Amino acid sequence: MNRYSIFTLARNALTFHKGWQKAWRSPEPKSEYDVVIVGAGGHGLATAYYLAKEHGVTNVAILDKGWLGGGNTGRNTTIIRSNYLQPESIAIYELSRSLYEGLSQELNFNIMFSPRGLLNLCLTEHELRVFKRIVHANRIAGLDTQFLSREEVKGLVPLINDSPDARYPLLGALYQPRGGTARHDAIAWGYARGADALGVDVIQNCAVTGISRRGGSVTGVDTTRGKIKAKKVAVVAAGHTSVIMDMAGVRMPLESVALQAMVSEPVKPMLDVVVMAGAVHGYVSQSDKGELVIGGGADACNNYSQRGSIPALEHTATALLELFPAFSRMRMLRQWGGIVDMSADRSPVIGETDVKGLYVNCGWGTGGFKAIPGSGFVFADSIANDRPHPIAEPFGLNRFLEGRMVDESTAAAVAH
């Protein structure tokens, strides 16, 4: 791997930048691998990277029907936080957030992690109580979150509407100082480059069309570029997990929904924290380019159209104006949608299935980006050792049989 540094930059500048190598190879698929990962998004690439790095499993292929990071990894609002309510959730999201802290150095790729601080606004009495409870739960878990008063929130976000006459008056906020954002594409590229350097084959434009099994065990996958044998197959396909798992006859506790986001015209710096507001259903941060990155609620009915519906878009814009009336003259540049897989309890599904050798990592719903490093880390460990990593264990598929939910549906920052 061509290491990136100020010296390589200077050396390449002397040769007019003609000497840069490709960041990863584009190999032809081999006929057999130890592990085949279906889906080259952040979670899949992180899984491949940690399989190779932490467990020495390098005979790995990661397949994607399109280009890597072209699904939800490139379609989210890049928010990173770990201020969840349940201990199981705090464990995995905080592992992930803490891995983000050192990821640029580890991958030798600038992921632009920006722990700028994150506010979950309390706009109703109910939210006030819920978020105070979350602060306590976080403190018990050793997480750095705190409760801010209305005045403290106004100090951090001067533009916010704190009028007592507001339809949803500002009552305070849950604050995570080390929450923030990162560059989403860079996460995919950094993990792909790191995994490729360790010997993993990253194969793009290779759609999986079937999962071969014999006697209850997985034997490989059928793809648009031929059959590939595999001892283990790991499905990390986010919104399309149900479709892929159906190829192996496994029904999932998932529903796929379009979640959309939009970006405004670039403006001068005016918002240096991430602001989330569940009561009005919107969240916003300002990118380094100056654009406002805005997200909101998911569609009302399950679907696979990567557009998002107009009522959901209108709802998000309404929420934003409730928080920041000054944004009423902002023009929006782009809008897009990603297909998120919502599980029954709004928590992820990580682990083995009834088919031997078939693993699944899905159900991250609307909050998958923040979980990429932690999810890949524990999933790789679970695949390599054939037993769930302790942090992944509560998120097994069997919890739906045992009625052992990890209920984050009422605790989510933005309820979907």
Partner 1 sequence: MLVLHCPVCGIEGEEADFHCGGEAHLVRPQSHDPENVSDEVLRDYLYLRQNPRGLHCEMWQCTRGCGKWFNAVRDTVTMEFKAFYRMDQKAPDLANFDEGQS
Q: Which of 152, 335, 400, 409 binds partner 1 (CB under 8 A)?
A: 400
* Residues contacting partner 1: total by CB under 8 A: 23
Closer of 157 and 257 to partner 1 (Cβ) = 257
Closest distance to partner 1 from the beta carbon of 19 (Å): 44
The helix (H) or strand (E) run that includes residue 190 is helix 184-197
3-state SS assignment for residue 343: strand
Q: How far is the CB of 387 from partner 1 (least distance, A)?
A: 22
Count of Cβ atoms closer than 10 Å to residue 15 Cβ: 9
Of 62, 174, 252, 271, which lies in the binding site for partner 1, with binding defined by CB under 8 A? Answer: 252
Nearer to partner 1, 163 or 305 (CB): 305
281 to 300: interface string for partner 1, x by CB under 8 A: -------------------x
What lies within 8 Å, CB to CB, of 129 at 6+ separation is none
Q: CA–CA separation, 283 vs 157, rounded Å?
A: 13
CB contact at 8 A, 14 and 191 = no
Q: DSSP class of residue 376?
A: H
Shortest separation between residue 219's beta carbon and partner 1, angstroms: 25
Crossing angle for the helix pair 372-385 and 42-55, to the nearest 10 degrees = 50
Residue 396 C-beta: closest distance to partner 1, Å:
13
User: Per rule CB under 8 A, is residue 242 in the interface with partner 1?
Assistant: yes
Residue with tokens 């759609």: 207
Question: How many other C-beta atoms are found inside a 10 Å radius of the C-beta of residue 50?
Answer: 26
Least separation in angstroms between residue 248's CB and partner 1 is 14
The amino acid present at 106, given as its one-letter code, is E
Among 176, 309, 366, 375, binds partner 1 (CB under 8 A): 309
Helix (H) or strand (E) run with residue 1 in it? none
Indicate which single residue of 47, 96, 303, 382 sits in contact with partner 1 (rule: CB under 8 A): 303
336 touching partner 1, by CB under 8 A:
no
For partner 1, the binding residues (CB under 8 A) are 240, 242-243, 251-256, 300-305, 309-311, 344, 400-403
